[in-house]
Structure formats: C-alpha cells, structure tokens
Amino acid sequence: MPDDSPNPAALPEVPAIALPEVVRELYARFGENTFIRQATKDDVPTLWLPVAQLHEVLRFLKFDVPSPYKLLLDLAAIDERQRKHREGQPPSDFTVFYHLMSIERDQRTKGFGDVRLKVALLGESPSMPTITNVWANANWYERETWDLFGITFEGHPNLRRILLPPTWTGHPGRKDYPARATEFDPFSLDAAKQDEEQDALLFQPEQWGMKRSVPDHDFMFLNLGPNHPSAHGAFRIVLQLDGEEIVDCVPDIGYHHRGAEKMGERQSWHSYIPYTDRIDYLGGVMNNLPYVLSVEKLAGIKVPPRVETIRIMMTEFFRITSHLLFFGTYIQDVGAMTPIFFMFADRQKAYDVIEAVTGFRMHPAWFRIGGVAHDLPAGWDRKVKEFLDWFPKRLDEYIKAAVENGILRGRTIGIAQYNTEEAVEWGITGGGLRATGCDYDLRKARPYSGYENFEFEVPTGKNGDAYDRLWIRIEELRQSCRIIKQCLENMPSGPYKADHPLTTPPPKERTLKDIETLITHFLGVSWGPVMPPGETSQLIEATKGINSYYLTSDGSTMSYRTRIRTPSFPHLQAIPYVIRGAMIPDLIVLLASIDFVMADVDR
Amino acid sequence: MNWNWLTPQVIAVLIACVEALVILIATVLVAAMMIWAERRLLGLWQDRYGPNRVGIFGLMQTPADMIKIFFKEDWIPPFVDKPAFLIAPLVAMTMMMLGFAIIPITPSWGVADLNIGVLFFFALAGLAVYAVMLGGWSSNSKYALLGGLRSAAQMLSYEVFMGVALMGVVIQTGSFQLRDIVEYQQQHLWFIVPQFFGFCMFSLAAIATTHRHPFDLPEAEQELAAGYHTEYSGMKFGMFFVAEYVGIVLVSALLVTLFFGGWDGPLMDRVPALSFLWFAIKTMFFMMLFILLRAALPRPRYDQVMAAGWKFCLPLSLVNMLVTGAIVLAHQSLSAGG
C-alpha cells in the first residue's frame, strides 16, 4: 500500500514501520497529504488536519471505520502563541484537539484504541465549525473552550460561558491572561456590581429554548442548588417542572471553578502535585497518579516495581474511601439516614492506614515524580491486614440491611436508565458505563503502573439503571480489597524512588560525593526539574471514571499546558437527557448514582 | 368570706381543669424529652454519641435548644402571605394537642370521654393537614409549595382508609368512645389479635398523619430541602417541630388505647396505680418504634406512597371492615337465635 510509507519530512521522529491502524485507515481514505503526523511521548496517534476536512474525518471515524470511534473523550484548546518547541507542527495560534476513543478497538488491541486530532487556528479571535452535530457531548467541551480560550464554534446551539460567570471579561485560559491575583487591581464588590452579578444569575428559560407555559398551564422553574442537600457540592440545576414531573432541566456548573489547569502553568512540575489531589477531592493520591505517570513519560523515567505496587495499593485505598462515601450518600439520598454513619466509621479505618503510610488523610499529595514521598513505614502490613479483616464483613451487612431493602429497590430499579450506546455518546465512563454491561476498565484494557500483574474482575451490570450503578461500586469495593490483598502479599522490595536525574526530589545518597549529582539535586529542588519538550498523556481508571492529564512541556520548569480530563464533567452533561420525564425524587437518585464531586467537574 | 359558690359542680370543673392542664403540660414535656430521646437513640444505633454535653446524659439539650429558639429573631419573610403564614404553625400545634382530650389514660383519668372520640380524632387529623398546606402555600416559596402539595395529596389518600381501618374496632366494641374501647379490651382480647390488619393499616396511616419517616415526603430533606417549613424560623419553626413530636406521642397513645388495651396490664386489680405505668410503658414503646423506623428505612417515592395507599391499604381496610361486620352480625344472630 502506498499509504504505508510516511512522508519523512513531516515525520522526523516516527519510525516508518509502526504506523498505527487508525493512521493507515485515515491515510487510505483521505490521502496522506491531508494530515501531518506529530510525534508524542504517549501511544496516542496524533494527527493535524485542515479545519475544512474536520467534519468529514470525524464522521468517518465515528460511523464508517470498522470498530468505530464512538467516544469523544476530550476536546480542548492549546494557546500556542508563546510556545517555542513546535518542531514538525503546522503554524498555529490556537490549537483545538479532539481525543477520540473506540472501546471495541481498545479492548482488541490492548490499549491502542484512541486517536488525537488537532486543528490549527490562526488569529486573535479564531472561529471554526462546531461538532455538536456529530457528538452530543461536544456541547459543554466547546462552551468551555469558548469560555477559557475565546474560540468561536459556529453553529453551536448555545455558545455561552460555562465555568465562569456570564459577566466575566476575557478568556483566562489564554497565555496573555494573568495567572495570579497580584497581577490584577484589588477586587471590590459594591452594591451596583452585586446587583449586576445577581441579575446575571437569574434563569431565563428563553435563552435555553424553553417555554414558560403551554396553552393550558404554566411551568414552574425550580432552582435546585447551588446550595441543596443533595446536589453534592456547589451545583445548580434548573428544573422545568409540570407538577413534580421534570419536563426539562439545565445543569449550571462553574461554582467550584478555580482554574486548576491554569495553575498547572505557573507551578513547577513538582509543586503542582498537591493541586491534583483537590481535583477529585475524594480521590486523594488517585489524582496524583495520572499526573506523575504523565510527567514520568515526559522525563523518560521508569519507576521500580516497589513504587508501582505501593502506588496501586494506595490508589485502591482511595477507591475504597471514595466508593464508601458514594455508597453512604446514595442510600442517604434515597432517604435512609443510618448507613452513612457506619460507612464513615469504615472510611475512618481506611484513613487510619492511609494516615500511617502517607502522614495525611484526604489529600496526602504523596506521589512524586519518579517515586513516592517515602518508603512504607514499619508495620504497614499489620495495619493493612487489620483493614482487610474488618471491611468485607461490614460490606455483607450493608447489603443485607440497606441494598436489598424493598423501598430502596423500588426507588432505584429502572430509574435513570441508559444503555451502552447512549453512555458512550455522552462520554460516560467508569461505573456509569460498566452498569450498562460494557466491561471497559482501563486497569484491564490498558494496564498502567503494573495492574497487569494483579488478578481482579471487572464487575458489570445489566440494566444501566441507578440500582446497577450502586451494585457496580459495591463489587468494585470487593475487587479493591482483592487487589490490596495481593499488594500486601507480594510487595516487592527495592527502592521507593527511581534512580533518574529528573526524579523529584532526587535520591540524595550520592549528592555529597560528586558535583554533577549535587547540581542536579540543587536545581531539582530549587527551581524544580526541567522537563524535556514534548506532549504526553495518561489515562487512568479513577474513582469516578476516566481521568487523564494531557501535558505539554516547552522545555521549562513549568508545564506549558495542563489539560485535565475529568469523568464528572461529561457525566453531569448527560443529566437532562437521562432524566427528562421523570420526577424530582428520581433526579435525586440519579445525582446520587452518578458519583460526582463538583471540584472534579469544574476544576 | 363566702364559700357558697364552691358547689360540688364547681369543684368538679376545677379538678377537671387541673387534670387537663396536667395532661397538657405532661404532653408537651414528653414531646420535648422525646426530641432528646430520639437523638440519643439514633446516636446509639448509628455508632455515635448524640447530644451528651448539656446536663447529665445531655438531658438539658432540649431546654437549651428551647431557650435558643425563643431568643431567635421572629422573622417573617417579606414575600409571604402573613395571616396564613402565622396561623399555620398554630394550627399544627393546637390540633395535635387537642387530640389528647379524648385519650383515657387510667380508669379514672382523662380530659373528656367524648362519645364520638374516634371521630373527633379523625376531624383533628383532617384539620392538621391545613397547617402543612397553609404553611406551604403562604410561604410563597417553590420548595414549600411542593411540600404543601405533597402533604395534601398524601393526607387525602391516607385519611380515607384511616377511618375505615378503625371501623373494625368500633364495630366490635359498638362504640366510638375510647374508654369503652379500652374496657371492652379488658374484658375480651386486646384488639391487636382480632384486628391485626386494622392495626397495620391504622399505624401506617397514623405515621403518615404525623409526617414521620418514611412518610416525611412533605419535608423530604434530600429532595425539598425543608419542604413546607423552609421559610420558617425561630419559634414558629419550633412549633412545627414540637407539633411533630406531640403528634408522635398522640399516635402512640392512640395505638395503645385502640389495640393494646390502654391502661390494661397484669396486677392491675391489686395495684390500681399500675394502670398509668402500663399506659406509659406501652406508649413509650411505640414512640421508640417510631424512632427505629426513622433509623431503619429509606423513603419511598411520592407516587409509590399514593399507590400503596389506594391500591393496597384501602382495599385491605375495606375487606377487614366487611369481614369484621359479617362476623359480628353472624355472632349476634347466632346468639339471638340460640
């Protein structure tokens, strides 16, 4: 095939033989010259294409290729105007990228099921066509890109700010927008401004294409949130009600937005780790993992097996604490008040172990580039064993006392149901996807950090309803215990840090003996490590779904662009689709069954 | 001084007033202490302490809360319908307290032996709905309105069979008067045995009347924040709150009176004072059951509650009433014929 020979000028680093399947398919269909292939440090084939052919290519990938790319995993922009290292990439001021995934292909090829497409845009206020007519879940991603980067998507049904308030001026994701409060004039809120802000929060149904009434009756518009006992954080959802039936609804997010991606561009690679803890604030070190794995790919660090196993053990502990909170609040949202107290007691036991190992509880920021902060403490195995002896028995009790309860089943079976196809269309991953019967778990499909060495199962549901989503998490709790048990029994010995100059902070043993190591150590801990230029990403199966960090390094002590793909963001976007026609109590059950935290949505 | 006006009739009236007053105060006190008991019991069942700092065992927690609530600003939101907003908590409290008028506590003690006692309770329960409806409607708040609506629908469904469920007891006794009902049980079997279905249906309806979990849909926290009393604060909220607990005490007392023999119990003949103790113990048992229900159960959805009321409870209550009637009639004609 002629398409198998790549153009050597455009591909300086890519070896000629290893063309990924999807690249071959695209070359065969659209011709090799349509694309410019970019080398990245992850396994994701990355192709630049002209904006004119974007739709054609996306539709081809979504509908026409064998094992089609049904999942739009991520969509965001990069402000390229200040970037120095762009070898082999077409000129661009703003780049919009699309991360697509084919679950079928990913499971078949063991982790080569995704593709990243990039579109170069020129000018200060660029515009391009929307893809909301190809993927429903592109809607919020495009709004976010407009909000933060000022890129207009022509034909978007409702291109308005999503994370920032409507009164905001400027696009903070851009490189020329200041990142620190000290770069602005002092903030003040006078009465006039307060009124203006409050008026801007008033819900106008017309803006969302809703009617206030039909000929024989009016609708009631109910603000659920941003302060509501069941909204799980500062989340507002405006309901259009006919009695207690939800005709339509508009989720409103952004109340918890703090610019985590922007912070990544002003913190050193090392000092950004604590910020990741707070993305999914129930996930603890689970959030560190995709970030440090990503940075390690940039740096070319391979961590020792002990580090991998320690990391798996601690992330699984956090999966347990996060799922337990989900479990308790879920039952509480259905109206039973007692189980959550027991589950807090169990989380306490897990936190005892976490505290003994890391020194902190919810946000340990304990993983490091190239390792973990320190070795496991003496006696850690006893604490872990105590937990493993305690916890599974409690789980059985909860199932008997709460999950098999008739009222709970009546409230959740068949409620807020969707199938695999709908889940993929809306970008739903994690337990929400597996409840529909799709056994896609990144830990199995593309094992990272040594998950391939562990025996565990991927629980799946059948109906994709709220009850199945509960069961998935309960089974996952059991599987997490199983993984932790294997960590306990097979913990490798060896160093807890990689022997690599970019490990931060680097191992100190040799620094007092030779000057080279001393200098590296000094720079690493004062300025922070300098990562070689390049792009990479790491996807992990986080507590709530697929979490990924897509990092761009420009050869500096800080990230040039940090894109955080969180699972909760698309999950919330799907709410109106899932809940239309149901009742308010069903919405509460849906919110409980999604398992989201607003910090994870708004970043 | 002329003591002529102190005729035996006047003395009787005075004694009755004092008795009634004692019952009233005791009821409010018991209701207040139940708040403490509920929080301690929930704590016990939920692996935590509950209030244990104010006074011995935290007993002074409720008085402390009362003091706090009395001194809170009695705020009326500017957007409410003021008269209805003010009346609602009064109605709630009054209706529940009036209910104690018909309860015979011991063979010789009680406020009034109305010969329409059971009907009087139904009337009060019907009026108590207005508290929630008025509160929900006059608050001019959407959450409160939804709570009020739910309450109206729920009461409509549950009052229908609450009456029917009790008819079995009334048919067997042949009287609406609660004292007659207790005395009948003293002579025969407690009604919990022959009227078991009536008991089940009536307790469901009674819990629904008090808006207690799992029938707390009008104020379902997870859905409607605080439901019908969202806009209430200070003492007006306090009245709704205490009314709920007075309601629990009332319903527990009624369940005891109607199905568990009231003051009846062993050793009653020898020590008459025991009658009060039996009544109190039985009532407290049911009060505790209410708390246990709250700790144990999730909340059904509003339409499921309606469906259960109309499709399950109402037919069962009707069947219960018909069967009881048939048996009583058959029994009468047999004994008349024999």
Q: Is A490 helix (H, G, I), strand (E, B) or coil?
A: coil
Nearest beta carbon to residue A220 from set B45, B46, B142: B142
> Average pLDDT, stretch A95-102?
91
Q: Give the distance from residue A343's alpha carbon to the nearest chain B alpha carbon, in angstroms.
A: 10
Confidence of residue A4 (pLDDT cuts 50, 70, 90): very low
* CB B276 within 8 Å of CB B109: yes
Q: Give the pair of three-digit tokens for residue A152.
A: 């207009």
- Per-residue burial over A78-92, b if 16 or more Cβ lie within 10 Å, else e, is bbbeebeeeeebbeb
- Per-residue burial over A579-588, b if 16 or more Cβ lie within 10 Å, else e, is beebbbbbbb
B220 touches chain A (CB under 8 A): yes
Q: Is A335 helix (H, G, I), strand (E, B) or coil?
A: coil
A405 chain-B contacts, CB cut-off 8 A: 297-298
Q: What's the rounded Cα separation, in Å, for the pair A338 and A212? A: 40
What's the Cα-to-Cα distance from B277 to each of B20, B109, B271, B280, B281, rounded to whole Å? 18, 13, 11, 5, 6
Q: Give the distance from residue A587's alpha carbon to the nearest chain B alpha carbon, in angstroms.
A: 9
Q: Give the pair of three-digit tokens for residue A79.
A: 């402000």
DSSP A344: H
Q: Give the distance from residue A328's alpha carbon to the nearest chain B alpha carbon, in angstroms.
A: 12
Could you tell me which chain B residue has the CA closest to the CA of A231? B222
Choose among B247, B256, B12, B286: nearest CA to B131.
Answer: B247
Block residue for tokens 């009245």: B239
The dihedral through the CA atoms of B319, B321, B324, B325 has a sign that is negative
Cβ distance of A411 and B300 shorter than 8 Å: yes
pLDDT-flagged residues of chain B (< 50):
none
Q: Which of B223, B299, B304, B305 to mutate to test the interface with A (most CBs of A within 10 A)?
A: B223
Choose among A375, A376, A372: nearest CA to A292.
Answer: A372
Could you tell me which chain A residue has the CA closest to the CA of B48? A341
Q: List for chain A the helix, strand, coil content (%; round to 5).
A: 40, 15, 45
Global pTM value: 0.86
Cβ distance of B298 and A331 shorter than 8 Å: yes
Question: What confidence tens digit (pLDDT) does each residue in A45-71 have?
Answer: 898 988 888 888 998 988 888 888 989
Cβ distance of A229 and B222 shorter than 8 Å: yes
A408 touches chain B (CB under 8 A): yes
pLDDT at A17: 56
Choose among A218, A245, A332, A251: nearest CA to A584.
Answer: A245
Choose among A137, A191, A194: nearest CA to A165.
Answer: A194
As to burial, measured by CB atoms within 10 angstroms (0-12 exposed, 13-18 middle, 19+ buried), residue B318 is: middle
B152 touches chain A (CB under 8 A): no
Q: Which of B38, B290, B297, B302 to mutate to test the interface with A (most CBs of A within 10 A)?
A: B297
Helix (H) or strand (E) run with residue A250 in it: strand A245-252
pLDDT at A318: 93
Query: Strand runs (DSSP E) across chain B, as ranges?
Result: 104-106, 109-110
DSSP string, B223-264: HHTTGGGTT--HHHHHHHHHHHHHHHHHHHHHHHHHHS-TT-
Instruction: Report A:218-277 residues touching B (Cβ under 8 A).
Output: 220, 222-223, 228-230, 243-244
Q: What's the rounded Cα separation, in Å, for the pair B248 and B250? A: 5
Neighbours of A29 (CB within 10 A): 15
pLDDT at A570: 92
Neighbours of A24 (CB within 10 A): 14
Residue A114 backbone phi and psi in degrees, to 5: -130, 165
Q: Is A370 helix (H, G, I), strand (E, B) or coil?
A: coil
Neighbours of B21 (CB within 10 A): 11
Nearest beta carbon to residue B222 from set A230, A408, A586: A230
Q: Give the distance from residue B267's alpha carbon to the nearest chain A alpha carbon, in angstroms.
A: 39
Q: Is A33 helix (H, G, I), strand (E, B) or coil?
A: helix
Question: What confidence tens digit (pLDDT) does each residue in A327-340 have?
Answer: 999 998 888 888 88
A392 touches chain B (CB under 8 A): no
pLDDT of A350 higher than 50: yes
DSSP A555: S
Instruction: Report A:449-488 residues touching B (Cβ under 8 A).
Output: none
ipTM confidence: 0.82
Choose among A376, A377, A309, A368: nearest CA to A508.
Answer: A368
Q: What's the rounded Cα separation, in Å, for the pair A488 and A496? A: 16
Beta bridge partners of A553: A534, A559
Could you tell me which chain B residue has the CA closest to the CA of A227? B225
Q: Give percent of chain A above pLDDT 90.
A: 31
Block residue for tokens 């006074």: B55
Cβ distance of A583 and B303 shorter than 8 Å: yes
Cβ distance of B298 and A228 shorter than 8 Å: no
Cβ distance of B146 and A588 shorter than 8 Å: no
Question: What confidence tens digit (pLDDT) does each residue in A225-239 have?
Answer: 788 877 888 888 998
pLDDT at A10: 45
Q: Is A133 helix (H, G, I), strand (E, B) or coil?
A: coil
Antiparallel, parallel or unpaired: β A217-218 and A213-214 = antiparallel
Choose among A330, A378, A324, A375: nearest CA to A351.
Answer: A324
A334 touches chain B (CB under 8 A): yes
What's the Cα-to-Cα distance from A556 to each of A276, A533, A576, rounded to whole Å? 20, 8, 43
Q: Which of A244, A246, A348, A390 to mutate to test the interface with B (most CBs of B within 10 A)?
A: A244
Confidence of residue A12 (pLDDT cuts 50, 70, 90): very low
Q: Give the distance from residue B45's alpha carbon to the nearest chain A alpha carbon, in angstroms.
A: 8
- Per-residue burial over B60-72, b if 16 or more Cβ lie within 10 Å, else e, is ebbeebeeebeee
Question: What confidence tens digit (pLDDT) does each residue in A534-543 have?
Answer: 899 999 999 9
Cβ distance of B302 and A583 shorter than 8 Å: yes
Nearest beta carbon to residue A585 from set B46, B294, B302: B302
pLDDT of A380 higher than 80: yes
Amino acid at position A69, single letter: Y
Amino acid at position A575, single letter: I
The dihedral through the CA atoms of A340, A341, A346, A350 has a sign that is positive
Q: What is the mean pLDDT of chain A?
A: 87
Q: What angle do CA B125, B128, B130 make, to 5 degrees?
A: 130
Antiparallel, parallel or unpaired: β A220-224 and A36-38 = unpaired
Phi/psi zone of residue A407: left (φ > 0), alpha (ψ -120 to 50 degrees), beta? alpha
pLDDT of A2 higher than 50: no
* CB A425 within 8 Å of CB A401: no
B299 touches chain A (CB under 8 A): yes
Question: What confidence tens digit (pLDDT) does each residue in A182-230 have?
Answer: 888 888 889 999 999 888 888 888 888 788 888 888 888 888 878 887 7
Q: Give the pair of three-digit tokens for residue A407.
A: 């009222």
B298 touches chain A (CB under 8 A): yes
A590 chain-B contacts, CB cut-off 8 A: none
Q: What's the rounded Cα separation, in Å, for the pair A497 and A306? A: 9
* CB A408 within 8 Å of CB A402: yes
Question: What confidence tens digit (pLDDT) does each residue in A148-158 have?
Answer: 999 999 988 88
DSSP A451: G
Kindly report the three-state secondary structure assignment for every residue of A88-107: CCCCCCEEEEEEEECHHHHH
Q: Give the distance from residue A399's alpha carbon to the nearest chain B alpha carbon, in angstroms.
A: 13
CA dihedral A36, A41, A43, A44 (to 10 degrees): -40
Q: Omega into B214 within 30° of 0, i.e. cis? A: yes
Neighbours of B79 (CB within 10 A): 10
A-B interface: how many C-beta pairs under 8 angstroms?
A: 80
Antiparallel, parallel or unpaired: β A152-154 and A127-129 = parallel
pLDDT at B1: 65
Cβ distance of A335 and B298 shorter than 8 Å: yes
Q: Give the pair of three-digit tokens for residue A318.
A: 């956090």
Nearest beta carbon to residue B220 from set A220, A335, A410: A335
Cβ distance of A410 and B48 shorter than 8 Å: no
Nearest beta carbon to residue B214 from set A333, A341, A407: A407
Question: What confidence tens digit (pLDDT) does each residue in A478-513 have?
Answer: 999 999 999 999 989 888 888 887 888 877 777 788
> Average pLDDT, stretch A378-402?
89
